[in-house]
Amino acid sequence: MAQRTATQNPAEMATNERNGWWKRLLIWREKHIPDKTFVVLLALIVGIASGLAAVLLKTLIALISGFLTSRFNIEQGNLLYLVFPAIGILLASLYVYYIAREPISHGVTRVLYALALKKSRLKIHNMYSSLIASSVTIGFGGSVGAEGPIVFTGAAIGSNLGQAFRLTPQTLAMLVACGAAAGIAGIFKAPIAGVLFTVEVLMMDLTAGAAIPLIAASVAGATVAYVFTGYNVEFFFSQSEPFYASRIPYVLLLGVFCGFVSLYFINLIDRIEGRFKRLRNRWVRFAVGGLTLSLLIFLMPPLYGEGYEGITRLINGDVTGIFNNSLFYSYRDNSIAVLLFLFALGAFKVFATAATNGGGGVGGTFAPSLFVGVMAGVFFAYLFNHLGILDPSMPLSIKNFALMGMAGVMAGVMHAPLMAIFLAAEMTGGYELFLPLLIVSASSYGISRVFTPYGIYARRLAKRGELLTHQKDRSVLTLLKMDSVIEKDFAVVHPNMSLKDMVDIIAQSHRNLFPVTDDQGTLIGVVLLDDIRNIMFRPDLYRRIHVDRFMSRPPAKVTVGTPMEKVMRTFDDTGAWNLPVVDEEGRYVGFVSKSKIFNSYRQVLKHYTYD
* 3 state SS of 1: coil
- Residues 252 and 82: beta-carbon distance below 8 Å: no
- Residues 133 and 95: beta-carbon distance below 8 Å: yes
The helix (H) or strand (E) run that includes residue 269 is helix 248-278
The helix (H) or strand (E) run that includes residue 599 is helix 594-606
Q: Please, which residues have CB within 8 angstroms of residue 9's CB and are 6 or more apart in sequence?
A: none
Continuous H helices in 488-582: 499-508, 529-532, 547-550, 564-574
Mean pLDDT per 10-residue section of the chain, whose length is 611 residues: 50 58 74 82 95 95 90 74 92 91 81 73 90 94 91 93 85 90 92 90 77 94 92 74 83 96 94 89 92 93 90 88 84 89 94 93 91 95 87 84 94 92 86 89 94 82 57 50 77 90 87 90 89 83 86 87 78 83 89 74 54 54
Angle (CA) 384 387 390, round 5°: 65
The rounded distance, in Å, linking the Cα atoms of 53 and 131 is 8
Q: Where are the domains of the chain?
A: 21-229, 245-465, 476-606
Going by C-alpha positions, the residue among 340, 415, 343 that lies closest to residue 372 is: 343
Q: What is the per-residue pLDDT for 445?
A: 95
Instruction: Output the pTM of the full model.
Output: 0.77
DSSP 96: I
- Residues 255 and 444: beta-carbon distance below 8 Å: yes
Q: Residues 264, 54, 108, 127: is their CA dihedral positive or negative?
A: positive
Q: What is the per-residue pLDDT for 536?
A: 81
The helix (H) or strand (E) run that includes residue 461 is helix 456-463
The helix (H) or strand (E) run that includes residue 578 is strand 578-582
Going by C-alpha positions, the residue among 165, 222, 170, 227 that lies closest to residue 194 is: 222
Going by C-alpha positions, the residue among 424, 429, 396, 426 that lies closest to residue 410 is: 424
Going by C-alpha positions, the residue among 260, 270, 293 that lies closest to residue 376 is: 260
Let me know if 537 is exposed, middle or buried by CB neighbors in 10 A (0-12, 13-18, 19+): exposed
Q: Residues 599, 601, 602, 606: is their CA dihedral positive or negative?
A: positive
The rounded distance, in Å, linking the Cα atoms of 159 and 113 is 13
CATH class of 245-465: mainly alpha
The rounded distance, in Å, linking the Cα atoms of 156 and 266 is 26
Q: Please, which residues have CB within 8 angstroms of residue 33's CB and are 6 or more apart in sequence?
A: 41
The rounded distance, in Å, linking the Cα atoms of 542 and 537 is 9
The rounded distance, in Å, linking the Cα atoms of 188 and 607 is 33
Q: Please, which residues have CB within 8 angstroms of residue 231's CB and are 6 or more apart in sequence?
A: none
The rounded distance, in Å, linking the Cα atoms of 559 and 566 is 11
Instruction: Return the number of other C-beta atoms located less than 10 Å from residue 402's C-beta.
Output: 30
Residue ranges of E strands in 10-82: none
CATH code of 21-229, in short, is 1.10.3080.10
Measured N-to-C along each axis, helices 107-117 and 147-164 cross at an angle, to the nearest 10 degrees, of 30
Architecture of domain 476-606 in this structure: Roll (3.10)
- DSSP-assigned states of every residue in 18-77: HHHHHHHHHHHHHHHS-HHHHHHHHHHHHHHHHHHHHHHHHHHHHHHHHHHHTT--TTS-
Q: Please, which residues have CB within 8 angstroms of residue 113's CB and are 6 or more apart in sequence?
A: 461, 466
* 3 state SS of 145: strand
The rounded distance, in Å, linking the Cα atoms of 178 and 610 is 13
For residue 310, the one-letter residue type is: G
Q: Which long-range contacts (CB under 8 A, 24 or more apart) does 12-17 make?
A: none
Q: Which long-range contacts (CB under 8 A, 24 or more apart) does 109-114 make?
A: 109/457, 109/458, 109/460, 109/461, 110/152, 111/151, 111/152, 111/155, 111/176, 111/180, 111/202, 112/202, 112/203, 112/457, 112/458, 112/461, 112/467, 112/468, 113/461, 113/466, 114/155, 114/159, 114/176
